[in-house]
Amino acid sequence: MKGYDATGGGGREAFLNYIGGQWIGARSGKTAASINPATGDVLGVVPASGPEDVEAAVQAAAGAYQSWRKVPAPRRAEILFRVAERLVGRKEELARLMTQEMGKILTEARGDVQEAIDMGYFIAGEGRRLHGYTAPSEMPNKAAYCRRAPLGVVGIITPWNFPMAIPSWKIFPALVCGNTVVFKPASYTPLLALKFVELFEEAGLPPGVLNIVTGVGSTVGDALVAHPSVRVVSFTGSTETGLRLAEACGRLGKRISLEMGGKNAAIVLPDADLSFATDALIWSAFGTSGQRCTACSRIIVHEAVRSELTQRLAARTRALRLGDGLLPETDVGPVVSDVQLERIHEYVEIGQKEGARLVTGGGRARGGALDKGSFYTPTIFDQVRPEMRIAREEIFGPVVVLMEARSLDEAVAIVNESSYGLSASIFTRDIGAAMRAIDDIDTGIVYVNHGTIGAEVHLPFGGTKQTGNGHREGGVQVLDVFSEWKAVYIDYSGRLQRAQIDRD
C-alpha cells in the first residue's frame, strides 16, 4: 500500500522508502520515529536507512536516466502538472500532517503546500520552453545555437522547516530538465516527504526516476554525496554542513548548489508607518517560530523611533499565543525539537552575558499543554551591538535583536556587516531612500515596506556571501543548476571553414 506498512508495531504506522518504483524498508530493518513537537506523540516510523539503501536508490536512478532523459520535456512536464493538481486536492491533509510533524501553525503549513503547488505549475510550464538560444555564426552557411542538456543522477537533501516547498524547488526542476533523483529528506519531517513522493507515483512518473531514502545526514546524506554516480547535489541546510559538503563535492569534481544560513535585517526609518512595520516585523521574526532562513533576526531602527518601535514590538510579542499549530487560536507553534530549543536558549544566555537587554521572552514556555512540547517564548533583545554573537550568528528560532542607527548609511552598513546575505528589508515612505537601499544592500533579496520573508516562485531565491555558492532556486535561473549548456554548430557550406583562422 504505497508508502505504508502496517507492521510498525505498537499501533504506529510504519512507512517505507521508495526505490526503483517499489516501497521497501531499510535493508538493516532499522526504523526511526517521527515525533510531534507540540505533543511528544509518535506520528509514525520510517526506515533508518544506511549506505546500502542509498546504493540501491542511486542504481535505480542511474538505470532510469537514459530512458527518462529521452522523454520530450513537454511530456515530462505533463506529469509534473498532474502532481501539482494532486497537491491541490490534498492540500489540507498535507498541511495538517506538516503542522503535526514540524510544528508550524496550520495557516503557514497551507502556505508551504501552496508554494509547492505554485512551483509545480511554474516548472511544468518551463517544460514547453527550456529555452536555449540561436546566434549568428561568424562564418557563412553555418548555423549556431545552444540548448540545455540534463546531467544525470541528482542528490537532493532538504531541511525540515519547509518540508514541502523546498523539496518542490529542487525536485520539479531537476525532473523537467531530464535528470533522475534520489531524495534525502530531513530526519524531523520524513512522513510529509514520503507523502509527497507518493503523488509522483500516482501521477505516472516512471519507476526509478524519483527515489526517496529516509535517514540521518551522517549516513544517508554523506553516502549520497560521495556516490560516484551522483552528478549534482542540491542542499539546503546549515552553513557548517553546506560548506563541508561543498568541500567533498569539490574533491570529487561534482556540481553542488547550496542554500545555507541567513542573518536577515530590516531597516526602519523615522518616516515609516510604525503600526504597519510592527505587524510586518512580528510576522517576519516569529512566523514558523523564527525557523526560516529568511526570518528577520535583526531590526535596525533609526534612533528617532527606536523607543516607540521597541514598545510596540514588545507589546505585540507578549500578546502572541503559543500552542499546538492545529488550534485556530494559536499564533506561534513549537520549535521543531528539544534539541533545537536548547540551542536557542544557549544563544539567549549568550546575549544576556554579552550585555544585551532582554525586553521580553527568553525561556521555555510552560503551563498546561505547553509542558508536553518544545515551546519557546518569542524573544526580543534591545541595546545590541554589531559585534555581539546574537547579532552575527544564526539562531534559527523566535529571537530578534534591535540595533540602533543614526542614518540610512549607517543602517545599510550594519546590514552588510553580516557574513550572510540572504534577505533584507526597509520600511520608509521615501522612495529615494528605498532605492538607495536597494542599490547598496548586499543580499540576494530586498523588500521595501515588508518583512524579510515571502518569496514568490517565479523570481530567483538565494543569497550572497555565506548564504550560498552563487546558484539560485526559483525563477528560470534554477534550471541552470540542473542542466548543462550544449553549444551546437551546423556547417552546411560544403567546405572546410576554420572559424577564427580564416580571417583576413
Angle CA 190–194–197, to nearest 5: 140
Looking at residue 502, what is its pLDDT? 85
Indicate the angle between helix axes 190-202 and 91-102, nearest 10 degrees: 160
Tell me the H-state helices in 210-265: 222-226, 239-252
Mean pLDDT of 306-316: 98
Judge whether residue 481 has pLDDT over 60.
yes
CA distance 80 to 119: 10
Any idea what DSSP says for residue 221?
Answer: I
Looking at residue 12, what is its pLDDT? 66
Judge whether residue 421 has pLDDT over 70.
yes
Mean pLDDT of 495-501: 92
Residue 321's pLDDT band, with cuts at 50, 70 and 90, is very high
pLDDT, averaged across the chain: 96
Looking at residue 10, what is its pLDDT? 46
Indicate the angle between helix axes 73-89 and 106-126, nearest 10 degrees: 160
Looking at residue 499, what is its pLDDT? 86
Residues annotated as catalytic are: 259, 293
Indicate the angle between helix axes 165-176 and 73-89, nearest 10 degrees: 160
Contacts for 143 with CB less than 8 Å, ≥ 6 apart: 134, 137, 488, 489, 490, 492
Q: Residue 187 corresponds to which cell in the numbers above?
A: 530526519
Span 95-133, pLDDT tens digits: 999 999 999 999 999 999 999 999 999 999 999 999 999
Contacts for 42 with CB less than 8 Å, ≥ 6 apart: 12, 33, 34, 35, 36
CB 136 within 8 A of CB 145: no
Helix (H) / strand (E) element for 97: namely helix 91-102
Span 8-60, pLDDT tens digits: 444 468 999 999 999 999 999 999 999 999 999 999 999 999 999 999 999 99
Tell me the H-state helices in 219-305: 222-226, 239-252, 274-286
**Backbone Cα Rg of the chain:** 24
CB 256 within 8 A of CB 246: yes
Looking at residue 482, what is its pLDDT? 98
CB 65 within 8 A of CB 80: no
CA distance 112 to 422: 19
Q: What is the largest CA-CA distance in the chain?
A: 87
CB 297 within 8 A of CB 389: no
Q: Residue 220 corresponds to which cell in the numbers above?
A: 544517508
Looking at residue 13, what is its pLDDT? 84
Cα dihedral 242, 248, 252, 253 sign: positive
Judge whether residue 373 has pLDDT over 70.
yes
Looking at residue 3, what is its pLDDT? 58
| SS3 of 288-301 | HHHCCCCCEEEEEE
Contacts for 23 with CB less than 8 Å, ≥ 6 apart: 1, 2, 3, 4, 5, 16, 17
Q: Residue 118 corresponds to which cell in the numbers above?
A: 505554485
Span 127-155, pLDDT tens digits: 999 999 999 999 999 999 999 999 999 99
Give me the domains of the chain, ranges plus CATH numbers.
Answer: 4-260+468-486 (3.40.605.10), 264-448 (3.40.309.10)
Judge whether residue 1 has pLDDT over 50.
no
Looking at residue 503, what is its pLDDT? 81
If we measure between CA atoms, which residue out of 111, 450, 159, 101 comes closest to residue 283? 450
